[in-house]
A and B are shown apart, each in its own frame.
Chain A
Amino acid sequence: MTEISRRKLITGGLAVAGGASGLAVAARLARRHGLIPPDAGGRYGAGEALTYAAQRVLGQHSMAREFSRSAISEKPFANEVDPLGDEFKRLQSANFADWRMTVDGMAARPTSFSLAEIKSFPTSSHITMIGCEEGWTYIAEWTGVPLSYILDRVGALPRVRYVVYRSFQPAWWESIDMADALHPQTVIAHSMNRSELPVPFGGPLRLRIPRQLGYKNVKYITHLTLTDNLKPFGKGTGGSASDGGYAWYAGI
């Protein structure tokens, strides 16, 4: 073995060892600070974890851009939804008077709210863009109850790490971390452009989270569950999208 190749072997070995231990330390730090998304397993997990961690480190508290009223889209597009069924039609014909949103899990006071109660809570409005992962966008004014208000009201325990939210359509459910759940622009929206939220856009209640894509903005919200562990839900990746092969974190 020549001198050069021995030196190369040693420096190369040191670089590999250093890189591997650096990665291990980074992974431990990331886990401790909650920077590993629930779908980090699998072949796309590395990219997913990098994206999620980078966005959480660089912009945990950043606010989605808000637009002027003149920027509101004249022709917003309501993505198609699966047929809503007879029970939904019954609720709709009664103007959703019997619509309820249950909050359970790690809460001091698990509760079920009627739509009228939710509408009586303090509201927050923002004119923001919503975008589909397909690539299209529109801008609208959304009004609703900040999710943080609901969490306060039910006495969310400090251990809570995720809010799981479910739709009237059982196939649709998602979850978000506390950075997004407590974010001031994350609202349970009941109005759009100062009118009642139309059914095609998710009325009567839609979780509006402007820092993530449309598929995290679940329509027809009926149920919130506060948890510190997403494993028991569905396949354990934290949402119907990620169970179906889409990324759990949709801030990109």
Chain B
Amino acid sequence: MNASLPMSEGVAGQASSAKPADSLPAATSRTRHSATVRVTHWLTTVAFLALLLTGGEIVLSHPRFYWGETGNVNMRPWLNLHLPSSRDTVPTGYGYVLPDQNGWSRYLHFEAAWLAVGTGFFYLLYGWFSGHFRRNLLPAPSDLSLKALAASIGKRLRFAKPGADEARSYNGLQRLTYLLVIFVLFPLMIWTGLAMSFGFDAAFPLGVQLLGGHQTARSLHFLVTILLVLFLVIHVVMIFVAGFRERMRAMITGRIDNVGTAAPAVRRAKLDSGANTCGGLTL
């Protein structure tokens, strides 16, 4: 696997000087991301940013976190963010109170949550039935060895520019990360978010009790947000490392520079045999 890297890097060197994809014959320009992946990616981006902004606004009305069912300013939080608050009932130590933004923040938070959930549901159906998950997200067994993962992580930490064949496929580390975000972190966000709803609590009490209570759900919602923001930061940094223009074009138009015109068939064969490279591109 490592043996293929120098060659890939060489091809990547050519890639930057390749002709624009749209000037190529249709037969040789392969779609990197399907229309469904691109549309759901950007809808999720919009929803996530709206959720992050409004979630932050909502936290400012009570920037303290508790475990269990109950928590209020008369109780000890496990985490006090020491931020100014939009409520004068919260003892923050600051001499001022921020303007109240909870009305529109809560409205938009839930509307964006519906967008995220609807988009996610559509994406799950697509990913399952189109083979997208099996083909593009399921890591090859060889990618899961500690050695392969360590090599991949090392490469990421050196900010090494990924090889050309990784412009057409996700590497193992990337696949694992996407699987974690899609199948663990997003569902956890939805679950912990719903658990804070009193209507949901009444209809599905077990959904709150399994988490450990209303305030625990709120704390977990906050902690998973931090993980998602961490993912977003690494994701964006890796896009810059891999080449911002190419990666953005791939996610907007679906096309990539025609790296090694003759190669796609070979790479597809490699993918289908499950021996996809552990080299890297955007995480």
Contact = CB atoms under 8 A, between A and B. Distances in A.
B159 interface: no
Contact of A137 (B59, B113, B114, B215): B215
Interface stretch (A56-64, A105-113, A156-164): A56-64
Interface in A57-73: 58-59, 62-65, 67, 71, 73
Interface string B53-78: 00000110110000001111111000
Contacts of A65: 201-202, 205, 208
Given A134-B62, A134-B102, A55 B69 contact: no
A234 interface: no
A204 interface: no
B200 A246 contact: no
Contacts of A250: 198
Contact of B103 (A50, A62, A137, A246): A246
B107 A247 contact: yes
A211 B62 CA distance: 21
A137 B69 contact: yes
A54 B90 CA distance: 33
Contacts of A133: 61, 102, 106
Contacts, number: 127
Nearest to A185: B202
A136 B199 contact: no
Size category, A interface: 35 or more
A203 interface: no
A208 B27 CA distance: 67
Contact of A44 (B61, B71, B75, B108): B108
Nearest to B61: A134
A252 interface: yes
Contacts of B58: 134-135
Size category, B interface: 35 or more
B208 A135 contact: no
A59 B107 contact: no
A71 B110 CA distance: 30
Interface string A38-59: 0000001011101100010011
Given A51-B110, A137-B215, A64 B104 contact: no
Nearest to A66: B205
Contact of B203 (A59, A131, A132): A59
A46 B114 contact: yes
A56 to B, nearest CB: 9
Contacts of A210: 198, 202
Contacts of B73: 77, 136
A80 B90 CA distance: 11
A91 B170 CA distance: 72
A47 B110 contact: yes
Contacts of A138: 70, 72
A211 B197 CA distance: 9
B61 A47 contact: no
Contacts of A64: 198, 201-202
15 contacts: A44-B111, A47-B114, A48-B107, A59-B203, A63-B202, A73-B72, A79-B89, A131-B196, A136-B72, A136-B73, A138-B72, A210-B198, A247-B110, A251-B197, A251-B199
A75 interface: yes
A64 B200 CA distance: 9
B107 A75 contact: no
Contact of A129 (B70, B106, B108, B111): B70
Contacts of A245: 103-104, 107
A77 B81 CA distance: 20
B65 to A, nearest CB: 9
B209 to A, nearest CB: 8
A39 to B, nearest CB: 9
A198 interface: no
Nearest to B118: A50
B218 interface: yes
B235 interface: no
